[in-house]
Amino acid sequence: MKKRIRMLSAALLSLPLLLSGCTMIPESEALTMNGMYFDTVVQVQAWGATEEIMDHCKELCEYYEGLFSATIDSSEVSKINQAGGETVTVSEETAELINKGVEYGRISGGRFDITIAPASSLWNFTDNRTKQLPVPEELAEAVTHIDYRCIQINGNTITLTDPEAQIDLGGIAKGYIADRLKEYLISEGIEHALIDLGGNMLTLGGRYDGSAFRIGIQQPFAETGTVMAAVSVFDKSVVSSGDYERYFEKDGVIYHHILDPDTGYPVQNDLDQVTIISDESVDGDALSTTCFTLGLEEGMKLIQSMDNIEAVFVTKDGEIHTSSDKIEMDIPE
């Protein structure tokens, strides 16, 4: 369904709170942690926190990166990928996250698949200067090893029944880590915080003054920071996925990082972007990718079948579609 959206005043366009997550609370009332993990910028703003709390947030990011990163040879995910089908014992957190990935494989009918690594490893979306497409024969071979159903989980042990299969948790790990950061801040008595993992936004409570956090939605293919809409949330996750995030253009064709598990090539459909509003960021992370791969109609059906989850879809014609009228959203003039 389409939703009528009341317009933001022009004055609000200049406020940095929309896309950056700035909360309009004076800097002196918040502590901020910045870091680079999973090849993305991580920022945590917390009101009433101590330096020790913020330092521990960094330690948590480092810890989870050391478990989940497929590019760190010593990580648990890398050990699974290097095991050639042998059983690997992992931490409770890794087993939990992989199990969540398998769950979304089932929910999506395989359109979200954490064994996408054989195909994703053939693409380079970080250096746009290369603009090289995978060798078609290599990509065709890679997709034969993409199947989340080959993952066997028994307690804290993981086995890939296809020795050539590999796991990539990039489509779900940031959300999981954001949830663990929020969980930790709550345990320390923090009531107001904004967690940003490369654009995966997770709020703890509302702003310090009692109002909602306002999270901007990037306009696809526009200059970074160009906001097409802003959602107001309390204690929610806001995660977007789109074809404009990591991509390159070659011979007039845009190749982006959200791959079709059936072909290994970028998903081609009617969408430029999906934003998920949910209680837990791990769900928003997985569902934003899932719904993008499903397309508008099937993605909308999925969201409307779920409880306490809303979505904003942006189609290639620039239209905004929302899953219900519960979303509090404004767009600039």
Give the pLDDT confidence of 298-318 residue by residue, as tens digits: 999 999 999 999 999 999 999
Q: 105: which 2 tokens?
A: 């494989």
Mean pLDDT value across residues 206-211: 90
Helix ranges (H only) for 86-146 are 92-107, 117-120, 136-143
pLDDT greater than 70 at residue 24: no
Cβ-proximal residues to 179 (8 Å cutoff; 6+ apart), any chain: 202, 237, 280, 281, 282
Give me the pLDDT at residue 93, please.
Answer: 98
Give me the pLDDT at residue 333, please.
Answer: 65
Full DSSP string of 30-88: EEEEEEEETTEEEEEEEET--HHHHHHHHHHHHHHHHHH-SSSTTSHHHHHHTSTT--E
pLDDT greater than 70 at residue 250: yes
pLDDT greater than 50 at residue 20: no
Give the pLDDT confidence of 187-199 residue by residue, as tens digits: 999 999 999 998 8
Give me the pLDDT at residue 14, please.
Answer: 28
Give the pLDDT confidence of 84-96 residue by residue, as tens digits: 999 999 999 999 9
Instruction: Supply the pTM of this predicted model.
Output: 0.89
Give me the pLDDT at residue 47, please.
Answer: 95
Rounded to an integer, what distance in angstroms lies between the CA atom of residue 142 and that of residue 194? 39
Give the pLDDT confidence of 49-66 residue by residue, as tens digits: 999 999 999 999 999 999
pLDDT greater than 80 at residue 12: no
Give the pLDDT confidence of 252-311 residue by residue, as tens digits: 999 999 999 999 999 999 999 999 999 999 999 999 999 999 999 999 999 999 999 999
pLDDT-derived band at 156 (thresholds 50, 70, 90) equals: very high
Burial 8-28 (b: 16+ CB within 10 A, else e): beeebeebebbbebbbebeee
pLDDT greater than 70 at residue 154: yes
Give me the pLDDT at residue 22, please.
Answer: 37
**Better-scored residue on pLDDT, 9 or 109:** 109
